[in-house]
Structure 1
Amino acid sequence: MLQFTQQHYFALKLFSALGCGLIAGVFFAFSTFVMNALARLHPKQGITAMQSINITAINPLFMGIFLGTAAACVFLAGSSLLDWYQPRAVYLLIGSLFYLVGTLGVTIMFNVPLNDALAIAAPDSANGESLWASYLTNWTMWNHIRTISALLASAAITIALHE
């Protein structure tokens, strides 16, 4: 049986802090320039490009970091509750919740349904054009929340690294 040592625990916290930061960076890029660039395209081109992005985003590397960080945060949240007397437990819990609720939860509840609706939109239709206009606003707003949440998660878990 694998014994979970302090070194393992530190490595898990480090992985989580880096994973949260990496995901925050990906989402930050979308919020600050990718969506703006797509909005400058003709709706048909923008829809087609975003449909392609949404397909290629589902790859082992991105999903491994995105979901692996979530799994690590579940473990850290649980361990923080079990070790609540530890000085940095509150930072682990707060950081984990920022990631799990504000990043993963928002993705599942808001960004994915918007992506699913866009996936079946006909890029050259009036309905597609109307959907694209609302998609740009709504998806980007929720992405801002994911970005801030992942960044706050990274900061809180980073603070918890110092023991």
Structure 2
Amino acid sequence: MFAFRTAALVAATLTTGLIAGVFYAYATSVMTALGQSDDRTFIDIMQKINVVIINPWFMLGFMGTVGFTVLAAALHLGKDSRTTLIWIGVALLLNIIAFAVTSGLNVPLNNQLANAGDVGQIGDLAAVRAQFETSWVRWNVVRAVLHTLAFLVLTGGLFAAGMQHARAGAAAQAAPVVPAASAWPFPVQPGFGSAQR
């Protein structure tokens, strides 16, 4: 059971860290570089990014931030894992909020940009960019911070789970060994069964 719990917690931590890293990269490099480009380049690149990022590897990580954290929480239900469950619960809340920011705010902005049409057919590039860029960048920073906090909390949960497992192992080793009761219901007398002399 410990192996399954640990695997789920590691998966939750890994996917959360990966997605936090993706959004961190957007905030610290991608959007900064695109911010220095002209309107046509900005819109063209963002439209292409929003298409190619919908791939199995990204979606596994993105959905895993909530899915694996829910699984880890379910496997840590019970008194023996209460401390670890608290850490996981906090991380789950942060991941759900970040997921909601992406789904409810960033994705609609992506769709809005896609619906503007091909960059060569857009009449007012500056207006399309203005309706997208500031809000998208702001909400990307919010989700990056939330996922990063969730990653830190899950790391704390891994540490708590390891300490709890170590304490349980130490307690089991320190427990006195009680000899098993004999299956023979009567006391064995000295010389019983030996040849009579």
Q: Same fold (TM over 0.5)?
A: yes
Q: Which has the higher helix share?
A: 1
How many corresponding residue pairs? 157
Percent identity (aligned): 33
The one-letter amino acid paired with 1:107 is: T
Q: 2:51 aligns with which of 46, 52, 55?
A: 55
Matching residue of 2:40: 44
Matching residue of 2:100: 105
Matching residue of 2:134: 137
Report the Cα distance in structure 1 between the residues aligned to 2:12 and 2:45, rounded to whole angstroms.
31
Matching residue of 1:74: 70
Matching residue of 2:148: 151
Report the Cα distance in structure 2 between the residues aligned to 1:20 and 1:100, rounded to whole angstroms.
11
Q: CA deviation at 1:88?
A: 2.0
Report the Cα distance in structure 1 between the residues aligned to 2:129 and 2:148, rounded to whole angstroms.
27
- Partner-residue secondary structure (3-state), 1:87: helix
Q: CA deviation at 1:141?
A: 0.5
Q: Is the 8 A contact 2:5 2:75 kept in 1?
A: no
User: Highest relative contact order (Cα 8 Å, sep 6+), 1 or 2?
Assistant: 1
Stretches of structure 1 lacking an aligned partner (at least 5 in a row): none
Stretches of structure 2 lacking an aligned partner (at least 5 in a row): 162-197
> What is the RMSD computed on CA atoms of the aligned residues?
1.7
Q: Is the 8 A contact 2:16 2:64 kept in 1?
A: no
Q: CA deviation at 1:79?
A: 4.9
Is 1:20 matched with 2:6? no
User: Which deviations, in whole Å up to 9, do the C-alpha atoms of 1:42-84 show, x marking residues without a partner?
Assistant: 111110110000000000111111112321122234455x436
Report the Cα distance in structure 2 between the residues aligned to 1:129 and 1:88, rounded to whole angstroms.
49
Report the Cα distance in structure 1 between the residues aligned to 2:142 and 2:102, rounded to whole angstroms.
10
Q: 2:5 aligns with which of 5, 9, 28?
A: 9
Change (3 A) 1:128 1:8: same
Q: Which has the larger radius of gyration?
A: 2
Report the Cα distance in structure 2 between the residues aligned to 1:140 and 1:86, rounded to whole angstroms.
38
Report the Cα distance in structure 1 between the residues aligned to 2:96 and 2:124, rounded to whole angstroms.
34
Could you state the TM-score of these two structures normalised by the residue count of structure 2?
A: 0.74
- Partner-residue secondary structure (3-state), 2:82: coil
